[in-house]
Amino acid sequence: MTMLVHITAAKNTRSVRRGGIRAVSSAHGGPSGVYCLPVLPSYQITHQWVRELRRGGQRTLVAVYFRVPDDEPVEVGHYGRVPRQMTSTEAAALIAAQQDARGYQFFIPRPVAAGEIHRIRSVNQVTGWRYMPDAHGRPPCACPVCNPAGQYGAAKIRRSFGDPDD
């Protein structure tokens, strides 16, 4: 059984314990499911999405650890590329073999039942990357999609790096 981790808001903890993880996300317009990552020896890679997901406005996130069968079909790939379909064991091995596994993700096209959940733990809230895995040293994008009006610091970024609408 492959151990995976899903990052969610702490306010969802009771609901997840009671009913599992709902399949609310959809991958590339396909069926709904759950995004997650395999548990790897590196805490940083396993929980890499925490900091980026906090940008959505959640103050505290938790890690939901669960197991799926080794032959469970999943989609795996880098977040900016088209994913490949394979079994959960093959996908975990693919991510573990990467030189730089930042930005990779699993997608399970079904909900996760409460009985499959192994543990729910708090996680370090500053683990991971923001914007993109190699964002350090690059100027932020000032376009309205990446920096919508009203987002904290968006006006300062548009002033510093130029608003593309000007």
Q: How many domains does the chain have?
A: 2
The answer to whether residue 128 is domain-embedded is no
Tokens of 159: 């002033």
Burial classification of residue 49, based on how many CB atoms lie within 10 Å of its CB (0-12 exposed, 13-18 middle, 19 or more buried):
buried
The answer to whether residue 131 is domain-embedded is no
If you average pLDDT over every residue of the chain, what do you get? 85
Q: What is the pTM of this model?
A: 0.78
DSSP H stretches of helix in 4-153: 13-19, 43-46, 50-54, 88-96
Residues 144 and 104 in one domain: no
Residues 109 and 150 in one domain: no
The answer to whether residue 129 is domain-embedded is no
The answer to whether residue 50 is domain-embedded is yes
Task: Determine the Cα–Cα distance for residues 49 and 146; give it in Å rounded to an integer.
Answer: 17
Q: What are phi and psi of 50, to 5 degrees?
A: -60, -50
pLDDT, tens digit, 9 for 90 and up, residues 111-141: 999 999 999 999 887 776 666 666 667 777 7
Q: What CATH number is associated with residue 112?
A: 3.20.170
pLDDT, tens digit, 9 for 90 and up, residues 80-107: 788 899 999 999 999 999 888 888 888 9
The answer to whether residue 127 is domain-embedded is no
Tokens of 80: 């900016």
Q: Which residues pair with 87 in a beta bridge?
A: 73
| CA nearest neighbour of 73 among 91, 97, 94, 98 | 91
**Domain span including residue 27:** 2-122
Tokens of 3: 């151990």
Residue 145 has pLDDT above 90, yes or no: no
Residue 166 has pLDDT above 60, yes or no: no
